[in-house]
Amino acid sequence: MCPASDPADNRAPALHLHRPARLQDASELRYALTGWARTRDLPEALIADLELAAYEALVNSAEHAYPDGTTGTLDLHAHHDDHTVRVTVTDHGQWRPQPAPDPLRGRGLPLIHLLADHADIAPTDQGTVITMAWQLTRDR
């Protein structure tokens, strides 16, 4: 982790992390994001929303972007200014749908859209980018 990415560094304006696309690494990334958000003095309700939305994006990418047996990577970026917090999750695989409908699955992307003020999912030939944004001026 580079010094500018250290979640404990109050001077770090942004968080940039790169990890294997495994579920345990998604949890590690979630905790790092939460730590970074707390150093920004963001409201706890906002931190809870961005933590859950980002975790859903990370897990979706880890589960759906890479064929069985392959290990890819995930990138997590977060930054904020006076008005907005943005979190981006990027995978470098190819999105693959569930082989069969499962009534217990499929809630992650709708949850991301519900929690974030803005959410965009952009699949490309090089992977999928999920961008989420929250307005700091909005009451929570």
Question: Cα separation of 73 and 82, whole Å?
Answer: 31
Rounded mean pLDDT for each run of 10 residues along the chain, 140 residues in total: 45 86 93 96 95 96 80 94 95 74 69 97 92 86
Question: Cα separation of 9 and 19, whole Å?
Answer: 20
Domain 3-135 has CATH 3.30.565.10: yes
pLDDT score recorded for residue 99: 62
pLDDT score recorded for residue 125: 87
pLDDT score recorded for residue 1: 41
Question: In the chain, what are the domain boundaries?
Answer: 3-135
Contacts (Cβ under 8 Å, ≥6 apart) of 130: 57, 60, 61, 88, 89, 90, 112, 119, 120, 121, 122
